[in-house]
A and B are shown apart, each in its own frame.
Chain A
Amino acid sequence: MKVTIPIGPQHPALKEPISLRMTVDGEVIKDADLRLGYNHRGLEKLAEEKTWVQNIYLTERICGICSHSHATCFVQGVEKLMEIDPPKRGLYIRILVSELERAHSHLLWLGIAGHEAGFDSFFMYTWRDREIVMDLLEIISGNRVHYAINTLGGVRRDVDEAQRAKILGSLDTLRKRTEFYLMIGANEPSFVARLARVGYLSKDDAVALCAVGPTARASGVARDVRKDDPYAVYGEVPFEVCTADSCDVLGRTVVRVKELLQSYNIIEFLMKNLPEGSIAVKAPRKAKPNEVVSRYEAPRGENIHYIKSNGTDKPERLKVRAPTLANYAATVKMLKNGFIADIPLIFAAIDPCICCAERTVEVVDARSGEERTLRFSELRRMAGERFEKVSQKRNAAWPF
């Protein structure tokens, strides 16, 4: 007998709202369906009504974890439209924040992987070390989440000598701790047994379904925008693209830990070779009619923004594709023929960011059970009817 289990949009195992429909036969998932649209935000439409500068702050709020990614992707596209070149020091600081963001995002993910695998001390260790990175971000930008460091033509805040010494000094601890995590991730028997062979995605499927980021790299696809299409100063920074061939959640863990070590190397290079000079140039208010495709390697994979200008101070069109949306098709493939108990682990392994993927329309809901479908508008109407019947609630005295 086949049973369909709805998971989400609100569910304790999910950190963000998304609706999954699992058709199961016993414990085995036979089919999986993803339903988006629970919390769409109308962001692409909204961007057409805001100016270039306002849109930096709007794109920064697409995501709470990779906030710098979307803002940088947007800003470097608009800089091309406006034909301005940010100074080198500005680009170095921009990429420094990018790599610190990648480090904090991957440390956060490692903790979640540990938590979903039932290894909570790993979660506590990684999140403690993540605080080191968060503190660095705070001394650079003044903020822990939305760094607001980007502006058209460069960055808004400089890095001084004391901050530089602090960043370089913190790297030793981070390196030592991350090497320890790599050792645990690859050797701790119970952790390895829980992650290995879970969420299998073959290399052919990863290519066919256009997976991105660590999800693709753990299936042996060396796809990294920083190498393929070096933006900003990545052309002159030495680093390696980390891949794994195991095609499972264990591979995705190992790829992310190795990327952490690469990020620390990049940060060290940037801090030791920070050029002198100004951090930003003045940007014009309007952009000539043109179009640009901007790509950026976010912690979760490739971000791509297509920006079209029409000669005014507002964009004609801003198309945002976040990496989570690109990985959904692969997730459905990974879930099939897995076990129900593996759902949180597999789903967490793409490092999903629902708020990134859900960025197009207004807040709406459609909730369906196994036997009948109730629409949100119907639910609202029913709730209204019920409230109208409850007489004592009407004109009730405020208790205070």
Chain B
Amino acid sequence: MTDSEIVEKAKAYLGGKALEVANPSLRRIFITVAPGDLAAAVTALRDHMGFLYLATISGVDDKDDFELLYHFGNEHVCLNVRTRIPKSAPRIASITPVIPGAIFYERELQDMFGIIVENIPDPRPLVLPDDWPAENFPLRKDWKFERPEEKIPGGKP
């Protein structure tokens, strides 16, 4: 199946949900959807087009917004579903009811960007430790690492 056939099929199944469909290079398709339509779009892609495999979710800090990319793959192409959510209200619905394997990537997203994934079955931190200070989200652009002052136990005061 060629790229253009998949683009046509995706447009037919997603209808008005696909705000923008791009095919910038061979076997790479980018589809932009509204955050509210994400779960419905992912369901349609899974049921009708065989995109069962979610490779990962990438978050990008883009000024006032967060851009989320859900990278799917099948035997023909790599399809990326893009959505944008405002930084002031970073909320996105979980896609684990559709793709159970998304759980680790959604937990990572919560840790690194402070995005609240709604209805996530397991909201515990994944990559950050238990005693990580609250409201510190390392992959946001305004977060800078400051090395804590080193104290040697038993050393000179």
| Interface hits, B64-115 → A, CB 8 Å | 69, 71, 73-78, 80, 99-105, 108, 112
Whether the Cβ atoms of A360 and B138 lie closer than 8 Å is: yes
B139 within 8 A of A: yes
Whether the Cβ atoms of B27 and A306 lie closer than 8 Å is: no
Whether the Cβ atoms of B130 and A375 lie closer than 8 Å is: yes
Residues of B within 8 A of A362 (CB): 145
A182 within 8 A of B: no
Contact A394 to B127, CB < 8 A, known contacts A223-B53, A328-B104? no
Residues of B within 8 A of A360 (CB): 108, 112, 127, 138-139
Number of A-B contacts (CB under 8 A): 124
Whether the Cβ atoms of B101 and A364 lie closer than 8 Å is: no
Q: How many residues of A contact B (CB 8 A)?
A: 53
Residues of A within 8 A of B71 (CB): 293, 304, 306
Contact A37 to B126, CB < 8 A, known contacts A208-B100, A306-B58? yes
B131 within 8 A of A: yes
Residues of A within 8 A of B15 (CB): none
Residues of B within 8 A of A383 (CB): 153
| Interface hits, A68-122 → B, CB 8 Å | 80
CB distance from B95 to the nearest CB of A (A): 11
Residues of A within 8 A of B145 (CB): 42, 45, 362
Per-residue CB proximity of A299-330 to B under 8 Å, as 1/0? 00010101010000000110101000110111
Residues of B within 8 A of A302 (CB): 55, 73
Residues of A within 8 A of B103 (CB): 329
CB distance from A45 to the nearest CB of B (A): 6
Contact A293 to B28, CB < 8 A, known contacts A210-B101, A360-B112? yes
Whether the Cβ atoms of B131 and A293 lie closer than 8 Å is: no
Whether the Cβ atoms of B138 and A361 lie closer than 8 Å is: yes
B16 within 8 A of A: no
Per-residue CB proximity of A22-52 to B under 8 Å, as 1/0? 0000000000000011001010110000000
B123 within 8 A of A: no
- Partner pick for B125 among A37, A42, A225, A373, CB 8 A cutoff: A37
- Partner pick for B100 among A42, A80, A209, A326, CB 8 A cutoff: A209
Residues of B within 8 A of A365 (CB): 129
B54 within 8 A of A: yes
B49 within 8 A of A: no
Closest chain A residue to B53, Cβ basis: A210
